[in-house]
Amino acid sequence: MEEVSFLNGKTRLYGIVGDPIEQVRSPEMVTHELHSRQINAVLLPIHVAADAFERVMPHILSIRNLDGLIFTIPFKSRALHLAKHTGPQAIAVGAINALARRADGTWAGEIFDGLGCVEGFRRRGLSFANARVMLIGLGGAGSAICAAVAGQKPHTLRMFDLDDARCRRMAEMVRQISPTTDIQIGKPDVRGMDILLNASPVGMLGDPRLPIDVSHLPPGLIVFDAIVKPEQTPLLALAEKSGSKVVRGREMMRGQIAKIVDYFIEQIRAPDR
């Protein structure tokens, strides 16, 4: 009988929950990652209306062959309360983007935006340990990147965000995660820095601006941009022109997907801890 090969009654379900949903890229990428590990599972787009989230989610979690969810805009903070167990990144940031079923039926949550950035660097042989890091933007992705980079014990972490209160909160978070790091709050500045991270939306979707006011960058600098679309942002173009090493948003995305699938697999094997 004519049939597809990637779905059957035993297929385990994962989903990405967002509102809107059509723009997400996890279904094709995470499903590929699951299949490359020989797991009979798919990750679906699940469109839950923003005003129905708290009401609907407990029932979606009761679907017995659902093993995990990813959360995207606008649900990362609101999903936190769905997790009975929360990882250190989730606690620091106050949000999750992955929720995984454990063998005992409880749910564990963690946020992987920042860990994906660290993993993207690691795959390129680059490390934040003892490095001098300038981070621009402390919103959803930025605060997660801040927490994950702090976990790598950088020498210096200089932070900038238009919201001062947010800067101070993040500085306090970094102090708790990595007491030895030199924490600075202030305007974007790459003098004396090893790594520049952009987690602000400046340069996204045709925005021609740079997140930092310079005409060239030091050639030894490593420059990362969390922006996925476009792949080549104005910042990365300048970095390449200046001879800097470049790490792209999609490397963070790839790193994050691998880490999330690791987490899904690891949690389903964790009955009670």
Question: φ and ψ at 244, to 5 degrees?
Answer: -80, 155
Question: Residue 160 or residue 264: which is nearer to a copy of itself going by CB?
Answer: 264
When asked if residue 29 is in the footprint of a copy of itself (CB under 8 A), the reply is: yes
Binding region for a copy of itself (CB under 8 A) out of 18-26, 74-82, 218-226, 265-273: 18-26
5 Cβ contact list (under 8 Å, min separation 6): none
92 burial class (0-12, 13-18, 19+ CB within 10 angstroms)? Answer: buried
Binds a copy of itself (CB under 8 A): choice among 37, 38, 54, 60: 60
Considering the rule CB under 8 A, would residue 124 count as an interface residue with a copy of itself? no
46 is a site residue for a copy of itself (CB under 8 A): yes
CA atoms of 55 and 78, how far apart (whole Å): 12
C-alpha to C-alpha distance for 266 and 268, rounded to whole angstroms: 6
Q: Is 170 exposed, middle or buried (0-12, 13-18, 19+ CB in 10 A)?
A: buried
Does 165 interact with a copy of itself (rule: CB under 8 A)? no
The least CB distance from residue 28 to a copy of itself, in Å, is 4
Name which of 181, 188, 93 is nearest 135 in CA terms.
188
Q: For a copy of itself, give the closer residue by CB, 25 or 169.
A: 25
User: Smallest distance, Å, CB 66 to a copy of itself?
Assistant: 8
Q: Is position 255 an interface residue for a copy of itself (rule: CB under 8 A)?
A: no
Using rule CB under 8 A, residue 39 touches a copy of itself: no
Query: Measured on CA atoms in the order 164, 170, 174, 175, is the torsion positive or negative?
Result: positive
Residue with tokens 């009979």: 40
- Residue 77: Cβ-neighbour burial (10 angstroms; 0-12, 13-18, 19+): middle
Answer yes or no whether residue 51 interacts with a copy of itself by CB under 8 A: no
With respect to a copy of itself, which residue has the nearer C-beta, 54 or 163? 54
What's the Cα-to-Cα distance from 47 to each of 15, 73, 234, rounded to whole Å?
10, 11, 33
Interaction between residue 269 and a copy of itself (CB under 8 A): no
Check binding of 78 to a copy of itself (CB under 8 A).
Answer: no
The answer to the question of residue 65 lying near a copy of itself (CB under 8 A) is yes
Q: Which 212-251 positions form the footprint of a copy of itself (CB under 8 A)?
A: 250
Specify the residue, 218 or 230, whose C-beta has the smaller distance to a copy of itself.
230
Output 149 or 252, the one with its CB closest to a copy of itself.
252
Size of the site for a copy of itself (CB under 8 A): 46
Q: Which tokens go with 64?
A: 């017995």
Residues that bind a copy of itself (CB under 8 A): 1-11, 13, 19, 21-25, 27-29, 31-33, 35-36, 42-49, 52, 55-56, 59-60, 62-65, 250, 253-254
